[in-house]
Structure 1
Amino acid sequence: MNHSILRRVACCALLVVASTGGVQAQTPTSATLPDFTGIVQKNAPAVVHVEAKYTGESSPGSRRMMPGQPPSNDPQAEIFRRFFGMPMMPSPQQQKHTSLGSGFIISHDGYILTNNHVVDHADQVTVRLQDRRTLTAKVVGTDPTYDIALLKVDAGSDLPAVDLGDSRNLKPGQWVLAIGSPFGFDYTVTQGIVSAVGRNLGQRDQPYTSFIQTDVPINRGNSGGPLFDLQGRVVGVNSQIYSNTGDYLGVSFSIPIDVAMSAVQQLKTKGYVSRGMLGVTMQPVDDDIIKAFKLDNGTGAAVVDVTPDSGAAKAGIQPGDIILSYNNQPLLQASDLPPLVGMTKPGSTVPVEILRNGKKQTLQVAISEATRDRNAVNNVAAGSSASKAGSAALGLSVQSIDSDTRSQLGLKSGQGVVIADITGPVAAQAGLQAGDVITMVNQQKVGSVAEFEAATKGVKAGSTVLLLVRRGEQSNFVGLTVPAGR
């Protein structure tokens, strides 16, 4: 059976020629179709082509299985592939790749919004403007959970910028317009209507996003580009398509601009994105629950577990409760809950309406902060003013980790420094990345910039430095050999 699957649409260095046919809908003669030329003329200069170069596996956003490789869902196998390659295969760290996508300028001083999966693991990011200028972009911060990346270019303070709208006012049937670089074809304009709003895709990596669903033709390379309303305001960030071929089949998804800009502001101010946590594990209200609980319908979310000492536990939520609404927002289905909780500021107290033993009641729940995405620790490094130390010979620079981040990462006090930047080929070829945590250098524990400096002082050409590197839940020793003749 051929199943359609969700695909992120960043385009790797592959040129594909495709065409999409369509039938123009019949409309009453009294109705007039919108003219999009004004929107395009005004906003196209603020849309950019994004090119990310990286060393590693063929697709940082979506890795494919190769014959003879361990399953891709094995975290330890993934670490070994990234760090050491696999027997009888070319080392992934020796492969050079380019990812192509889109983006748009959100401020006149050069801040650019795109998707995280466009620039994920990039060693270098450049953007090309409509006037054909090519600028080097700095990755200010990323949030893999929302699939948002914030870039910055230095090109003065008069760059063209888009106007931002309010995605919360979108309704199915409204006209929308996309500008981007599908298959590398810059400034391609496509249009359609909003098919649905608040669409939760049930994905394990993006449970906190309620997408805008449209029938705007989106293809590989459109990722990170803007979705405009008829007023020429950005209402979404084009992100994914539903397809069994990898190309557009009629259903596209965009991240609401309100969600994206919330992430942007946090990346600017504190270098990472925090999300609210209720403290429950839930499931849909299925037919068995409806029958057992004698419910009228399947709306809401069924609580199956409550995290000890969480806000939900302290407020009295119990397994078997049906959550009907959160912060006065009714839940039509269980997947409606995570995006609402995620957008809640930690420390807030919100009303949660539940159904227990056939009776409704409202509880006041204190929302805590969700565990931070461990893949986004590079955002902390990018947004922090803490001191950095670099080793030119090793090709990397490191930064101290604050106590809050260390706790989020499950590290002990005084344990580890984070890689802030990859600055040379030695670290890059070893597969190290910004965000990796170094806990030991030559079997010597390091927990600060000063300790790292002391441990790497006097590294000589031809010598090998052994690092104990932690990425996510896995730790591995990585040897960095300084080339002779430096």
Structure 2
Amino acid sequence: MKTIIKSLGMAILGGIVALGGYQLVQNEDSSNHIITQPAVVESPLPVTPVSYTGNTSIAGVDFTEAAEKTVHSVVHVINKTVARAPMSMADVWAGRTPYREAIGTGSGVIITPDGYIITNNHVIKNSNHLQVTLNNNQSYKAELIGADEESDIALIKIETDEDLPFVPFGDSNNAKIGEWVLAVGNPFNLTSTVTAGIISAKGRDLESRDQNIQSFIQTDAAVNPGNSGGALVNTRGELIGINTAIKSQTGSYIGYSFAVPSNNARKIIEDFMEFGFVQKGMLGIRGTDLNGTNSKEFGLNSTEGIYVAEIVEDSGAAKSDLRKGDVITSLDGVKISKFSELSGYIKTKNPGDIVNAEVIRKNNLINIPITISRNNTVTIPQIEMELRNLTSEEKKVFNVKEGVKITKTIGKLSRYNLSDYIVTKVNDTDVADIDDIQAVLRDVVPNETLLIQMKNSRGEIERFRYTVN
């Protein structure tokens, strides 16, 4: 018994000694954990102190609210068309042309509770039947309200007894590079798909065509075939773009996708709802982007802005104080450094609107108000024609006092070359300008047949019947 007590006492004493030693070591180690301030080294580069006032953590960004608001308002669009099929020997011997039904799919965004839906023109192009499926799997037949091939925007509508969830428009001018965004759509028929990314760039022009300069929002949110016509929204669930294109050698997403800015899309949709066609305005200049090379050639200090090389006659710019050689740096406070940005901003305006241009002239900054004038070339999807008011020279060529020039045919009518014709009458109404044609079409219902009278440069008059889309 004494042996056990003695052993227990020795164990307790050993524990006390060990505990005291461990505490001593810990105190000594703690005294060595001193954080010293490193010496300040002057950087050869300018450094701006940064004060972070917002949430900069990726983990701190919550996409769930925006996704929940949007996913029920993005629809699946099915476009059924009739296309010519390859001919077999039996078809050749029978002298018949075979046709087959083709089905295309895409996305759309509900923008009003009564069923107006915005999508891409290429999603609904040449449709014989449009079907829309909501996120709750209910399907509806859709009616085409209007389509604009140039902007690739279309408006369709479904009829329902219940109010539908919709996405409110945001201001795409206020969208910032680096801002988080969500792309919502139906890629590869995978309905209700949400992907996230940031705005990579603004004012992107993919085609670089003088007559059709586009201004896209570029994002790295994953967009694939089937996303076309879907929503690009910010973290508040506001619509800031309509997903339209991807830049890829494979046809699928590799990091670059593009959306029509919401301000441009909204203007087009409002025109469809109010007029039935798109009112297109123009500033009335021809110019070029400034850069480090041509700014020296022009004798300018600035390397950003639009150099005004020419002013279009009878345009709003011609009637303003704007001059050749001026440099436009902003419109209504929106910075303009590329012609695509200028073109994109003007496309949000109607003829008659006034924009305030900030201009550099002889290295002095001045403000010039410019009235947006009407772009005399108008695409009218109802009759599948691009039309323009006649010039004085064309009136002499066609030997007329009034009429409208056919500049291009689109859709099913594109198989016919009517560029040598002018329209002089629709039904019993003489046509003096585009306004006359648009006035006639306001009272026309789908599937109504029009009698269109045309005249060519040889003085020959032709008439044909056209069934309105």
- 2:71–2:194 CA contact under 8 A, matched in 1: no
Query: For 1:139 and 1:167, how far apart are their aligned partners in 2?
Result: 25
Residue 235 (structure 1) aligns with: 240
Cross-structure match for 1:188 = 193
Secondary structure, in 3 states, of the residue corresponding to 1:266?
helix
Per-residue deviation, 1:217: 0.3
Determine if the alignment matches structure 1 residue 449 to structure 2 residue 454.
Answer: no
Q: Which letter maps to 2:111?
A: I
Question: Is 1:366 aligned with 2:371?
Answer: yes
- 1:446-474 CA-to-partner distances (Å, cap 9, x unmatched) read 833359xxxxxxxxxxxxxx99889xxxx
- Structure 1 match to 2:77: 50
Q: CA 1:439–1:137 in structure 2 vs 1: closer, same or farther (change >3 Å)?
A: farther
Residue aligned with 1:99, SS = strand
In the TM superposition, 1:263-278 aligns within 5 A as 263-278=268-283
C-alpha separation between the residues in 2 aligned to 1:225 and 1:190? 12
Aligned counterpart in structure 2 of residue 165 of structure 1, from 156, 162, 170: 170
1:50 offset after TM fit, Å? 0.8
Aligned counterparts of 1:241 and 1:313: Cα–Cα separation in 2: 38
1:132 partnered with 2:137 = yes
Q: Does the 8 A contact of 1:406 with 1:413 survive in 2?
A: no
Question: In structure 2, what is the Cα distance between the partners aligned to 1:36 and 1:237?
Answer: 18
Contact kept, 8 Å, 1:348 with 1:367, in 2: the verdict is: yes
SS at match of 1:447: strand
Q: Give yes or no for the alignment of 1:175 onto 2:180.
A: yes
1:286 is displaced (CA, Å) by 4.0
Distance 2:211 2:191 in 1: 28
Q: Give the equivalent residue in structure 2 for 1:21.
A: none
Q: State how far apart, in whole Å, the 2-side matches of 1:446 and 1:314 are.
A: 30
Cα distance change of structure 1 residues 334 and 112 upon mapping to structure 2, 3 Å threshold: closer
Task: Say if 1:371 and 1:329 are closer, same or farther in 2 by CA, change over 3 A.
Answer: same
Q: Report the alpha carbon displacement of residue 95 of structure 1 after superposing the two structures with TM.
A: 5.7
* Partners of 1:323 and 1:160 in 2: CA distance: 41
Q: Distance in 2 between matches of 1:407 and 1:92?
A: 39
**What corresponds to 2:118 in structure 1?**
113
Structure 1 205/233 Cα, relative in aligned 2: closer, same or farther at 3 Å?
Answer: farther
Residue number in structure 2 paired with 1:15: none
The answer to which structure, 1 or 2, has the higher relative contact order (CA under 8 A, 6+ apart) is 1
Residue in structure 1 matching 2:317, options 312, 317, 323: 312
Report the RMSD for the aligned CA atoms in angstroms: 4.4
| Counterpart AA for 1:322 | V
Cα separation, 2, equivalents of 1:292 and 1:164 = 43
- Matched residue type, 1:345: N
Counterparts of 1:9-20 in structure 2, within 5 Å, are none
| Residues 438 and 468, structure 1, Cα contact 8 Å, conserved in 2 | no
Q: Is the 8 A contact 1:324 1:330 kept in 2?
A: yes
Contact 2:184–2:195 (Cα < 8 Å) also in 1: yes
Matched-pair identity in %: 34
For 1:112 and 1:282, the matched residues in 2 are separated by: 36
For residues 63-212 of structure 1, what are the structure 2 equivalents within 5 Å?
94=99, 96-201=101-206, 203-204=208-209, 207=212, 209-212=214-217
State whether structure 2 residue 286 is matched by structure 1 residue 281: yes
Q: What is the TM-score with the length of structure 2 in the denominator?
A: 0.66
Shift of 1:137: 0.8
- Partner Cα distance (1:434, 1:225) in 2: 30
Aligned to 2:329: 324
- 1:361-400 paired onto structure 2 within 5 Å: 361-374=366-379, 377-378=380-381
* Distance (Å, rounded) in 1 between the aligned partners of 2:264 and 2:340: 16
2: distance between equivalents of 1:256 and 1:287?
Answer: 29
2:79 counterpart letter in structure 1: A
Q: Alpha-carbon deviation of 1:125?
A: 1.5
The offset of 1:296, in angstroms, is 2.7
8 A contact 2:119–2:155 mirrored in 1:
yes
Q: Matched residue of 2:263: which SS?
A: helix
SS in 2 for 1:312: coil
Deviation of the 1:114 alpha carbon: 0.4
CA distance in 1, matches of 2:352, 2:272: 19
> Is residue 425–residue 452 contact of structure 2 (8 Å, CA) maintained in 1?
no
- How far did residue 56 of structure 1 move? 4.7
- Contact 1:378/1:434, CA 8 A, preserved across alignment: no
Task: Return the alpha-carbon distance in structure 1 between the equivalents of residues 217 and 96 of structure 2.
Answer: 39
Aligned mates of 2:462, 2:331 — CA distance in 1: 46
For residues 65 and 221 of structure 2, what CA distance do their matches in structure 1 show?
Answer: 18
Q: 1:129 to 1:258 in 2, by over 3 A?
A: same
Q: Using the alignment, how far apart are the partners of 2:56 and 2:319 within structure 1?
A: 61
- Give the deviation of 1:158 after TM superposition: 2.0
Contact persistence 2:264–2:347 (CA under 8 A): no
Q: CA deviation at 1:96?
A: 4.2
Q: Match for residue 264 of structure 2? A: 259
The secondary structure found in structure 1 opposite 2:300 is: coil
Tell me the number of residue pairs that the alignment of Structure 1 and Structure 2 aligns.
Answer: 367
Give the Cα–Cα distance (whole angstroms) in 2 for the partners of residues 438 and 50 of structure 1.
34
Partner of 1:72: none
CA–CA distance in 2 between the matches of 1:354 and 1:33? 42
The Cα of 1:263 is off from its aligned counterpart by 1.4
The structure-2 alpha-carbon separation of the partners of 1:438 and 1:195, relative to structure 1 and needing over 3 Å to count, comes to closer
